[in-house]
Amino acid sequence: MSNNGAEEESLESGGSGLSPSEIEALQRKNCVFCHIASGRVPAKKVYEDNECVAVLDINPANPGHILLMPKEHYTIMYQVPEPLIEHLFVAAKGLSQAGLKAFQSKGTTIFAANGTSAGQRAPHFMLHVIPRVPGDSIGMYIPSRTLPQKEAERIALAVSAALGGKIAPHKEEKKEEKEEHSLDAVTEFLTKPTSTGEHK
């Protein structure tokens, strides 16, 4: 992993005198999710492959609440290699569909608490996949504020500058076509009355 200022620093703070690799080894050793991934701590596994494992959350928000994690120990998303991020989201998609089939849920909340400011408590990066039904009492309150034009411009510039052109939009025409297509599918899926077992 490359060294990056703030995030790495915040992980390594504390003045322990340990090297980054020693801290990492200690984190792995003490990480219950590493032990779950390796099978040393029992958990209800629902999916596993070479890269990741998915288990039932022991304190689920809804039936079928799944924790999907890489087998390797990474604390925050920044550390997770991009191919593994892709892999995790493909697995999350499968788990989401499985929840829709298994529990006749009508939607899925998928999220990562990335960093303590975002409410992260586990030391191991993971995605939550939570089947949702109308009227379930899961509170995911995200405030909705007004965004003045000037501020929108300033914020958009700040994000673009921070990306440094690293993530460039590509194949605009094809992308738009694809998005339109997938949005149609999503709209159809979300508005269609449930017909169990029809979703792939």
Nearer to Zn ion, 63 or 84 (CB): 84
Nearer to Zn ion, 33 or 132 (CB): 33
Nearer to Zn ion, 69 or 130 (CB): 69
Strand order across the 127-132 sheet: 45-48, 52-56, 66-70, 127-132, 107-111
Nearer to Zn ion, 11 or 34 (CB): 34
Nearer to Zn ion, 70 or 131 (CB): 70
Q: Tell me the closest approach of the beta carbon of residue 113 to Zn ion, in angstroms.
A: 15
Q: Shortest Cβ contact with Zn ion: which residue?
A: 31
Q: Tell me the closest approach of the beta carbon of residue 55 to Zn ion, in angstroms.
A: 13
Q: Tell me the closest approach of the beta carbon of residue 58 to Zn ion, in angstroms.
A: 16
Binding residues for Zn ion (CB under 5 A) = 31, 33-34, 73, 124
Q: Tell me the closest approach of the beta carbon of residue 199 to Zn ion, in angstroms.
A: 33
Q: Tell me the closest approach of the beta carbon of residue 107 to Zn ion, in angstroms.
A: 29
